[in-house]
Chains A and B, each alone.
Chain A
């Protein structure tokens, strides 16, 4: 495990050092951005619509029983933007994009394409890892912005149409504006940025470490997704704790 962490840090450091070359690889970054957006935007919106909805559904009636139904906007707003949207979107992206990254790089490794790059003096970190890392760390926060907005809409819709809650749109968003400020949204975006870096580095690392044939690729994909999710959930606690100092 410690060897893996060490390798991850080395890969991250090497990628960071080559960041100045990102502009040179902009076409690959755009390709990856398109891939991520195209594959995930609709799914992200659907997922967050229902996440917002279910939060409202679970908490709304309890608040209403105690005469606190007007507080539902703030509750849904805070929980979606600070916690649920960044974490759930990161898990979605780990599953959809992290797995694709590990599989693509893994198959390139197995079928000697990475060796071929090296014989042409093309650094695989610049060619493969850098564009993916830049793309995922730019795309995930943008997806989270969409997820937050749609999540709020989902919460509001359930709050308005559920008879046990019965809060108007205006009341929902008025309370949301009162409780949620820009700092809360930035807090969630910062988390999603860190999670994106984790997904990118873990997935590329697993891809580059692939050995064996199709079974090896499958193993790498599984490891990439599982390790990313585990790291995201563990780091989420510490990041939340850290970000509390700035509240």
Chain B
């Protein structure tokens, strides 16, 4: 069964808890993501952002709490099958033994949703959409980090997702490529009204694309709000995270060239 809606879905995370061994990673997270918005979860490395994302797509099961998509719990396989969800992994997670074209068309070919000619057409179209026209026959090992990420986005788009999850989409990228990927996320959201959840510690990306932001620290959500509300927060942890910078003195003490 496939969801009848063309556009994004709403997501509701309720009291999500997860521990690995004795170490609690998620400590009762609750927040709502509205239909069609770009929701960014920002926080320092190791605070549990990726684990949260894995719960949202069903790769992890929570110890407690639940995640609802359009009001339905994703704990059941039927609901997971009903909604089209995609995830863009931090590393891209492209299948290295397949070409770029095969990677992008994998969902369609494995589920036999379209004939091979049609799959090739869709693959070309999605690759063009992310600026990788004519790269179908290359292997992931031949691509740069930024290209891999864009292939991963193209692969996610083939699913025609209602919810798309991005795990650190700009990590390991140079600033120019990070901007390109950020623009891509923004454009896609506006073009197909997909609900997007972006997990990142990249402040520029977060404030550049977010409709709303959640700030996460040590497995807890400190605040949810619009970029302006987050910027004005008086919470010292949020303030420190948003304003962390090299000390001026460090710059002055550099050796002369």
Asked if A118 is at the interface of the complex by the 8 Å CB criterion, the answer is yes
- Number of B residues, CB within 8 Å of A: 22
Residue in B54, B87, B93 whose beta carbon sits within 8 Å of that of A113 in the complex: B93
Query: Nearest chain-B residue to A25 (Cβ)?
Result: B110
Distance in angstroms from A204 CB to nearest chain B CB is 15
A104→B110 CA distance, assembly (Å): 20
Query: 1/0 contact trace for B154-175 toward A, CB 8 Å?
Result: 0100010000000000000000
Interchain CB contact under 8 A, A120 and B110: yes
Given contacts A104-B97, A113-B96, 7 further A-B pairs with CB under 8 A are: A112-B89, A115-B54, A115-B93, A119-B86, A120-B159, A121-B80, A121-B81
Asked if B188 is at the interface of the complex by the 8 Å CB criterion, the answer is no
Asked if B106 is at the interface of the complex by the 8 Å CB criterion, the answer is yes
Q: Return chain B residues, CB-CB under 8 Å to A120.
A: 86, 106-107, 110, 155, 159
Interchain CB contact under 8 A, B89 and A121: no
B binding-site residues for A, Cβ under 8 Å: 54, 57-59, 80-81, 85-87, 89, 91, 93-97, 106-107, 110-111, 155, 159
Q: Return chain B residues, CB-CB under 8 Å to A111.
A: 91, 93, 96
Asked if A190 is at the interface of the complex by the 8 Å CB criterion, the answer is no
Distance in angstroms from A58 CB to nearest chain B CB is 44
Query: 1/0 contact trace for A112-144 toward B, CB 8 Å?
Result: 110111111110000100000000000000000
Interchain CB contact under 8 A, A112 and B93: yes
Q: Return chain B residues, CB-CB under 8 Å to A22.
A: none
Residue in B59, B94, B155 whose beta carbon sits within 8 Å of that of A118 in the complex: B59
- Number of A residues, CB within 8 Å of B: 15
Distance in angstroms from A213 CB to nearest chain B CB is 12
Residue in B81, B85, B91, B97 whose beta carbon sits within 8 Å of that of A112 in the complex: B91
Smallest CB-CB A-B distances: 4 pairs: A116-B93, A112-B93, A120-B107, A119-B87
Of listed B86, B96, B110, residue having the most chain A CB within 10 A? B110
- Which of A186-212 touch B at CB < 8 Å? none
Residue in A104, A108, A115, A127 whose beta carbon sits within 8 Å of that of B89 in the complex: A115
Q: Return chain B residues, CB-CB under 8 Å to A119.
A: 57-59, 85-87
Distance in angstroms from A117 CB to nearest chain B CB is 8
Interchain CB contact under 8 A, B94 and A113: yes
Query: Nearest chain-A residue to B77 (Cβ)?
Result: A121
Main secondary structure of the interface of A (DSSP, over half): helix
Interchain CB contact under 8 A, A116 and B95: yes
List, sorted by A's number, 29 A–B pairs whose CB atoms are closer than 8 Å. Answer: A108-B95, A111-B91, A112-B89, A113-B94, A113-B95, A113-B96, A115-B54, A115-B59, A115-B93, A116-B87, A116-B93, A116-B95, A117-B95, A118-B58, A118-B59, A119-B86, A120-B86, A120-B106, A120-B107, A120-B110, A120-B155, A120-B159, A121-B81, A121-B111, A122-B106, A122-B107, A122-B110, A122-B111, A127-B110
Q: Return chain A residues, CB-CB under 8 Å to B97.
A: 104
Distance in angstroms from B189 CB to nearest chain A CB is 19
Of listed A111, A117, A119, A127, residue having the most chain B CB within 10 A? A119
Query: Nearest chain-B residue to A122 (Cβ)?
Result: B110
Distance in angstroms from B96 CB to nearest chain A CB is 7
Q: Return chain A residues, CB-CB under 8 Å to B59.
A: 115, 118-119
Distance in angstroms from A121 CB to nearest chain B CB is 7
Q: Return chain B residues, CB-CB under 8 Å to A112.
A: 89, 91, 93
Distance in angstroms from B160 CB to nearest chain A CB is 12
A107→B94 CA distance, assembly (Å): 12
Q: Return chain B residues, CB-CB under 8 Å to A118.
A: 58-59
Query: 1/0 contact trace for A70-104 toward B, CB 8 Å?
Result: 00000000000000000000000000000000001
Distance in angstroms from B116 CB to nearest chain A CB is 12
A210→B159 CA distance, assembly (Å): 28
A185→B155 CA distance, assembly (Å): 49
Q: Return chain B residues, CB-CB under 8 Å to A122.
A: 106-107, 110-111
Q: Return chain A residues, CB-CB under 8 Å to B107.
A: 120-122
A115→B59 CA distance, assembly (Å): 7
Query: Nearest chain-B residue to A31 (Cβ)?
Result: B97
Distance in angstroms from A39 CB to nearest chain B CB is 16
Distance in angstroms from A22 CB to nearest chain B CB is 15
Q: Return chain A residues, CB-CB under 8 Å to B91.
A: 111-112
Q: Return chain B residues, CB-CB under 8 Å to A108.
A: 95
Distance in angstroms from A53 CB to nearest chain B CB is 39
